[in-house]
Structure 1
Amino acid sequence: MEEPDPHKALASREPAFARLIATYGPQDPFVWHDGGRTGKSLFAALLLHITGQRISALAGFTLFDRIAAAADGIPTPEVVQGLGVSRLRSMGLSNTKAECAVALAGAQTHGTLDLDALADVDDRAVVDTLTSVRGIGQWTAQAFLMRQLHRPDVLPADDMGLRQAVQHQWRLGHLPTVGEVRTRGAAWSPYRSYASALLWRSLKPVGELSDPKERALYHLGGPTGARPS
């Protein structure tokens, strides 16, 4: 049986998505703009998510690159654990991020966390597992679900950009709460990752890069691919 097309399904349910697809074309929610920094390492990818929390993508890349330089390559749990909180702080990480990175590395090294095994775990359990690590919140866990595990039904409802996009596309007179986004987004299941990608794309005009990491790579002269239509 042929799999349904997520974009066609969303367009049939919501005129807003039909408009966005007509304007921007289908959007891939699983694309990961890291410039090759993390390779196939789920640990390194999650570390990049952590370094980029609450700062610009360019600054997040800078912090990650300092760790990679100390690791002489793609950072491993053993290297990050060996660097320790104080060394990571000297590289510019906040105390919270440094502690989170070391906690993540320790959990992976000691076997209390197996990132590779999460491919066989349902979405809720993945979020619960990741957020049990000190410093990893729901947004980071959901970003990992979408970008690394390629789950099709992720809605980061507390993302400010997503909330702003919902306000604009549905012409709301107020910024929707997290709960309001979740309620509205229930109708988009099981394709909420695709809905999220379309809404994020709507934050920038046609012809401008919308993904913060992609824009950072373009600034750095790294591989971004062609500019979107």
Structure 2
Amino acid sequence: MIILTNKNWLIALNDLKKKDKILKKIINTYKSEKLKSKKDPFLTLAKSITGQQISVKAANSIWLKLEKKIKKINPNGILKLKKSEIAACGFSKQKINYLHNLSIFFKNNKNIEKKWKNLEDEKIIEDLIKIKGIGKWTAEMFLIFYLLRPNIFPQSDIGLLKAISINYNLKYPLNDKDINKFKKKWVPWSTVATWYLWRSLDPIPVKY
């Protein structure tokens, strides 16, 4: 299974810069930075749930409050907290339930990530969306930020679509034709293109 090793990241940069002049400028602006995995599947999914349908800044603020509440964010730690304590960090009732569902899943499925590492992207998405609270976008964040899969294009991601609109001078919201054009253009390195477009909007790198 191909993942974004340091070597593959450099190959991706060279390939994308040849394909896309605008992306080349963005890459050159942030060439010293790259996507990094947290190497913790539960944390990646929990933080992705936190970031659902809110800005990166808001998600980071909520997550920092949770980190102050709990010494180690893991399934046991989440389940030990009262729901009111999680709510005080800024989580909605719905997201609190999602975090609980995720925590129970990981408690009942030890080392599930070893299985996922050997599966194709679509099969992993199928597995993840069975957990209540995880949709396709959250599963795609997992593929990007934990498994470092190289060709993920999260086409429902508002940040990505806004970044394309701004950098390529296209009307927002983008139409399906434009979305499909970029989706095809960046194969097989859509993850790398997505990461740099996010970076073009945010003052700090996106992390899940």
TM over 0.5, shorter chain: yes
CA distance in 1, matches of 2:119, 2:195: 23
Corresponding residue of 1:49? 48
What amino acid is the match of 1:151? R
CA distance in 1, matches of 2:177, 2:41: 30
Q: What is the Cα-based RMSD across aligned positions, in Å? A: 3.1
> What percent identity do the matched residue pairs reach?
24
> 1:183 Cα deviation (Å)?
3.7
> 1:191 Cα deviation (Å)?
0.5
Corresponding residue of 1:180? 178
| Preserved CA contact (<8 Å) 1:153 1:189 | yes
CA distance in 2, matches of 1:200, 1:127: 22
> 1:103 Cα deviation (Å)?
0.7
Corresponding residue of 2:113? 115
Residue in structure 1 matching 2:36, options 31, 41, 44: 31
Do residues 128 (structure 1) and 134 (structure 2) align? no
Any stretches of 5+ residues in structure 1 without a counterpart?
33-38, 215-229
> 1:96 Cα deviation (Å)?
1.0
Question: CA deviation digits over 1:184-207, x for unaligned, max 9?
Answer: 221211111111122223336xxx
Q: TM-score, normalised by structure 1?
A: 0.72
Q: Give the aligned length.
A: 201
CA distance in 1, matches of 2:88, 2:200: 38
Q: Evaluate the alpha carbon distance shift between residue 103 and residue 177 of structure 1 in structure 2; reply closer, same or farther with a 3 A threshold.
A: farther
Matching of residues 80-95 of structure 1 within 5 Å: 80-83=78-81, 85=83, 88-95=86-93
Q: Which has the higher contact order (CA 8 A, sep 6+)?
A: 2
CA distance in 2, matches of 1:134, 1:185: 28
Q: Evaluate the alpha carbon distance shift between residue 19 and residue 46 of structure 1 in structure 2; reply closer, same or farther with a 3 A threshold.
A: same
CA distance in 2, matches of 1:197, 1:170: 16
Question: CA deviation digits over 1:148-186, x for unaligned, max 9?
Answer: 111111111111221122223333244313663244221
Q: TM-score, normalised by structure 2?
A: 0.78
